[in-house]
A and B are shown apart, each in its own frame.
Chain A
Amino acid sequence: MPDPVLVLIAADPRHTHRANEGMRIGLGIVAGENDVTFVLRGPGVHLLDEDTDDLVDGDDIAKFRANLRRLDIPFHVEASDIPDDPSWNADGHPVRRLTRADVIDLVRAARRVLAF
Chain B
Amino acid sequence: MARVLHLWKSGADTQLVADTIATQLDAGDSVTLAVLDGVPPATRSGVVIRRLDADLTYRELVELIFGAEHVIPW
**Chain B: interface secondary structure?**
mixed
**Chain A: interface secondary structure?**
helix
CB pair A113 B73 closer than 8 Å:
yes
Task: Decide yes or no whether A1 CB sits under 8 A from chain B.
Answer: no
Task: Decide yes or no whether B23 CB sits under 8 A from chain A.
Answer: yes
- How many residues of chain A get a CB closer than 8 Å to chain B's CBs? 14
> Complex formed: what's the CA distance from A108 to B71 in Å?
10
Interface centre among A10, A104, A107, A112 (most CB of B within 10 A): A107
Task: Decide yes or no whether A103 CB sits under 8 A from chain B.
Answer: yes
- How many residues of chain B get a CB closer than 8 Å to chain A's CBs? 13
Task: Decide yes or no whether B10 CB sits under 8 A from chain A.
Answer: no
B61 to A: closest C-beta gap in Å: 17
Q: Give me the interface of A with B, judged by CB distance under 8 Å.
A: 10, 41-42, 100-101, 103-105, 107-108, 112-115
Q: Could you give 7 example pairs across A and B, Cβ below 8 Å?
A: A41-B13, A41-B16, A100-B19, A112-B71, A113-B72, A114-B73, A115-B72
